[in-house]
């Protein structure tokens, strides 16, 4: 049996020609589905990492801003305009 499988994996399309039994064809389909699932999981993890990094960056920015203002208020730092 010959089967051509067209699978869309994100921005990439894969055309795979499989020659063999129906079981062989089903194994290829399952493998491509697993790749798609892994790509989706990687996208989810990447999104979570970006969100956490942004959160930490904003926290650091706010901490620096508070420290800067504290130094101005205490007279340790003066700004001449």
* pLDDT tens track for 35-61: 889 989 999 999 999 999 999 999 999
Residue 80 lies in a domain: no
Residue 81 domain-assigned? Answer: no
Between 3 and 30, residue with greater pLDDT: 30
pLDDT of 69 over the 80 cut: yes
Domain-embedded: residue 31: yes
| Per-residue confidence (pLDDT) for residue 32, from 0 to 100 | 81
Of all residues in the chain, what percent carry a pLDDT higher than 90?
A: 42
- Structural domain including 38 reads 2-74
Q: What is the pTM of this model?
A: 0.56
Q: Name the burial class of residue 32, with classes exposed (0-12), middle (13-18) and buried (19+) by CB atoms within 10 angstroms of its CB.
A: middle
**Within-domain flag for 15:** yes
How many domains does one find in the chain?
A: 1
Confidence of residue 78 (pLDDT cuts 50, 70, 90): confident
* Sequential DSSP letters for the chain: -EEEEEEEETTEEEEEEEES-HHHHHHHHHHHHHHHHHHHHHHHHHHHHHHHHHHHHHHHHHHHHHHHHHHHHHTS-----
């Amino acid at each position: 049996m010959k089967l051509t499988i067209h699978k869309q994996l994100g921005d990439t399309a894969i055309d795979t020609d499989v020659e063999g039994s129906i079981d062989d064809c089903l194994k290829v389909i399952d493998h491509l589905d697993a790749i798609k699932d892994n790509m989706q999981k990687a996208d989810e993890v990447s999104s979570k990492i970006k969100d956490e990094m942004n959160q930490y960056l904003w926290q650091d920015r706010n901490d620096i801003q508070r420290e800067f203002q504290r130094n101005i208020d205490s007279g340790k730092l003066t700004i001449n305009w």
